Amino acid sequence: AVVTGGGSGIGRALVMQLLADGCRVATCDINATNLAETGTLAQQQYGDGVALSLHSCDVTREAEVQRFASELLEQHPVEHINLLFNNAGVAGGGSFINDKREQWETTFNVCWGGVYNCCRVFVPLVVASDAGHIVNVSSVNGFWACMGPHFPHTAYSAAKFAVKGFSE
């Protein structure tokens, strides 16, 4: 299994559950400290023989995702993957009108661009599997964009709508 954003939150919970179910897991995160903590927790829970590899990766950069895939194939004796969890995400983005463009683009690029880049790189490995599945983590904001009249988050909503549409 491949899990993006495995350093915290849903990603870390996915990693731990997959390990509990006997999966070999390769996970990535942009935050090295959080990623190392996931590794420590996994080792404490499952011992030294845990089948987990940790990879530093910014999913917004296709070259880093390609490097992650290459590392996975070097560190795990596989020619395919059965599960791809596109989980990496970040809240924010704020107002399209009032906030800085960079803030908007960072949120959109992580939440949607990460799914796109990881699918481009990993789908051939899923297709090579006899039982492959892709799980793209979205949000209620992929169905409903509003969180209230005083809480703009257009980048996040647009990205989650993109993830939902792409997945369907």
Would you please indicate which residues are annotated as catalytic (active-site) residues? Answer: 156
CA distance 49 to 168: 38
- SS3 call for 32: helix
What strands lie across the sheet with 2-4, from one edge to the other? 52-56, 25-29, 2-4, 83-86, 133-136
| Residues 57, 59, 63, 68, CA torsion sign | positive
Residues 6+ apart with CB under 8 A from 59: 4, 5, 28, 30, 65, 88, 110, 113, 114, 117, 118
Residue with tokens 């995400």: 89
